[in-house]
Amino acid sequence: MEITEGFTSISAGSDNIEGSARRSPTGARIVVEFRSDESLAAGQPVTVRYDFAGDGALREGMGIARPTRTVVRWGRAVQYHYRVSFWIAPSALMSCVAEKARSRASLTALESGIGARASGLSPA
């Protein structure tokens, strides 16, 4: 099953391989939480496509959806909430951060150039 909407939380953190506390992090654990109007089967594998950096670039991960809660509203509408987590290489997370930083730097440079031209000053 593919999940592309209904995300309620997306987070990332470093993680070590168990038993190797003296080593540096070996990967990043991505945790994606989402809601659905449909109940998923226990142990259902899912593929999530999500925009982690808000840059429009979709990333993909696969894992087992674990139920976190069920919300019933007005006695009829039911929403099922799930969490899926998976590993990515640290470089994949850092490339996402680097892309976002480059995007912000380009936007800032463009804005300061436009502001300088409007004020009659040349950008430094």
Model confidence over 19-69: pLDDT tens digits? 555 556 567 888 999 999 889 998 889 999 988 777 788 888 899 999 999
Backbone angles phi, psi at 120, to 5 degrees: 85, 5
Is residue 48 within 8 Å of 34, Cβ to Cβ?
A: yes
Helix/strand/coil for 92? helix
Q: Is there a domain that residue 124 lies in?
A: no
Asked if residue 124 has pLDDT above 50, the reply is no
Q: Is there a domain that residue 123 lies in?
A: no
Q: Is there a domain that residue 95 lies in?
A: yes
Q: Is there a domain that residue 107 lies in?
A: yes
Which of the pair, 6 or 92, is modelled with greater confidence? 6
Distance of CA 20 to the CA centre of its chain: 27
- pTM, rounded to two decimals: 0.64
Structural domain count, the chain: 1
pLDDT at 47: 92
Q: Is there a domain that residue 50 lies in?
A: yes
Could you tell me the residue range of the domain that residue 71 belongs to? 2-118
Tokens of 72: 């019933």
Task: Please tell me the number of Cα atoms within 13 Å of 82 on its side-chain side.
Answer: 25
